[in-house]
Structure 1
Amino acid sequence: MSRIAERRLFFMAMPPPAWVDDTRALLVRLGLDKRLRSALFAPANWHQSFSERIFSPTEEECAALLQVGSAVSASSCTLHFNRIDGPADMPGRIHWTMRARGVPKAFAALLQEVRDHLGHAGFGRIATGVTPHMTLSYCAHDTLDKIVLDPPVAWTIDELCLAIGGGNPYRYDIIGRWPLLPEIDPPATQPGLF
């Protein structure tokens, strides 16, 4: 079985459908959908990762990670995506990515909670040091110079999910979801999406 066809299990957060629709409309206005064409990662799959993947997970691994997810207690956090870029930073693969301004304290705390609980459960190998971002394409046809998003696109992560990716077409099946606590230090003003 190829690595692409293998099912993969990991912690993540997914934006709500209305946010996805609005962000997809932004890409259309910027003409990025036409540049990406079929290389656009399916918007229904856009996500923020919080761990590395376990390929071809067993039932035992799924059950253990469900326990990890239920042990996480962290606050919601708001990301402010202020740019899109697509440098050729990986040989043979160009990622186009929305990147957030800074790393909110609540994001760092959530990531640390996930990492700590993974380590305690014996899954330290899949802990990660991800940054706030959302990949729009994993295989773009060309590089993309930085596009500044002004105002930034805000997304409040208020739920941690455990998902299994796979299938044709590729999709994520959520097998566990846990609401996060209210945001401790929300932005003074909630900027509009656009």
Structure 2
Amino acid sequence: MTQLTLPGFEAPRLAAEHRLFFAAMPDPDTAARIAGMAGWLRSEMHVEARLLRTGRLHITLHHLGDFVCVPEVAVARACAAATSIDVPPFGVTLDRISSFNGRPGHRPLVLTGSTGLDALIGLQQGLGEALRGAGLRVSRARFTPHLTVLYDEGRVDPRAIAPISWTVREFVLIHSWLGKTRYDVKGRWPLKGSGPSV
């Protein structure tokens, strides 16, 4: 039997508390270098917003969605899809800083790369195909690799920075607790493919 609601007494919508996404994360030493460089730039540019914690620095590969409860079936499908990725480790270099659009007062300040990100883009595309093959919805929008260091209300003009490089040796599935600055890693997949990097 269908349950009816009276006008003005609709059931409240529950707020999403969980986010799932795949990411490439810098190793701890690289994350510390990024944080140090970002702290210096923040001071030079007179930005007051706080930096993200080093343990949260990442390049998002695919956002799987925001949820009221963690959908374990989707997690299982995502993990199964991730095991099909066969890519060797590859290098990433970030050498520019700029602002991306975002909510008012919450614009991401990000690091990007000017060249040499083909392997990262290839990983993102291959993972997207595997996730779609597993029945999951992922965006087909153009992927612009970036690493967010803070959120601020101002906007920064793009500028070159001293390059920061590292070798991507794995990618991870992260469960983010929204509003609680907590990340749980749901799975890790080492890059150890024997073929040419994508």
- Contact in 2 for aligned 1:50/1:128 (Cα 8 Å): no
| Structure-2 residue corresponding to 1:14 | 25
1:67 aligns with 2:80: yes
| Structure number, greater radius of gyration | 2
C-alpha deviations, 1:105-142, integer Å up to 9, x for none? 322221121011011111133555422210112x3031
Answer yes or no: is 1:141 the counterpart of 2:165.
no
Does 1:94 find its partner at 2:94? no
Residue 62 of structure 1 aligns to a residue whose secondary structure is helix
Asked whether the equivalents of residues 98 and 159 of structure 2 are also in contact (C-alpha less than 8 Å), the reply is yes
- For the structure 1 residues 163 and 42, does the alpha-carbon distance in structure 2 shift closer, same or farther, using more than 3 Å as the test? same
CA separation of 1:31 and 1:52: change in aligned 2, threshold 3 A = closer
Question: In the TM superposition, what is the alpha-carbon distance from 1:69 to its structure 2 partner?
Answer: 1.2
Deviations 1:48-77 (A, max 9, x none): 111123222311111111111111112222
RMSD, matched Cα: 2.5
Q: Secondary structure at the match of 1:172?
A: strand
Partner in structure 1 of residue 94 of structure 2: 81
The two structures have a TM-score, normalised by structure 2, of 0.79
- Out of 137, 144, 165, the residue aligned to residue 124 of structure 1 is 137
* Cα separation, 2, equivalents of 1:36 and 1:42: 16
Distance 2:135 2:95 in 1: 36
Alignment partner, residue 5 of structure 2: none
Describe the SS at the equivalent of 1:155: strand
- Residue of structure 2 in register with 1:46 after alignment: 57
Give the structure with the higher percent helix.
1
Q: Give, in whole Å, the separation in 2 of the partners of 1:171 and 1:41.
A: 12
Task: Please point out which of 100, 112, 127 is paired with 1:114.
Answer: 127
Structure 1 residue 30 corresponds to structure 2 residue 41: yes
**Which amino acid is the alignment partner of residue 32 of structure 2?**
D
How many equivalent pairs are there?
Answer: 180
**Do the aligned partners of residues 125 and 133 (structure 1) sit closer, same or farther apart at CA in structure 2, a change above 3 Å counting?**
closer
Please give the secondary structure, in 2, of the residue aligned with 1:144. coil
Residue of structure 2 in register with 1:188 after alignment = none
Gaps of at least 5 residues in structure 1 are: 186-194
Contact 1:51 1:127 in 2 (8 A): no
Gaps of 5+ in 2: 1-13
> CA–CA distance in 2 between the matches of 1:33 and 1:58?
43
**TM-score, reference length from structure 1:** 0.80
User: In structure 2, what residue type is equivalent to 1:78?
Assistant: G
1:112-191 equivalences in 2 (<5 Å): 112-126=125-139, 129-137=142-150, 139-150=151-162, 152-166=163-177, 169-181=180-192, 184=196
Offset, 1:11: 1.0
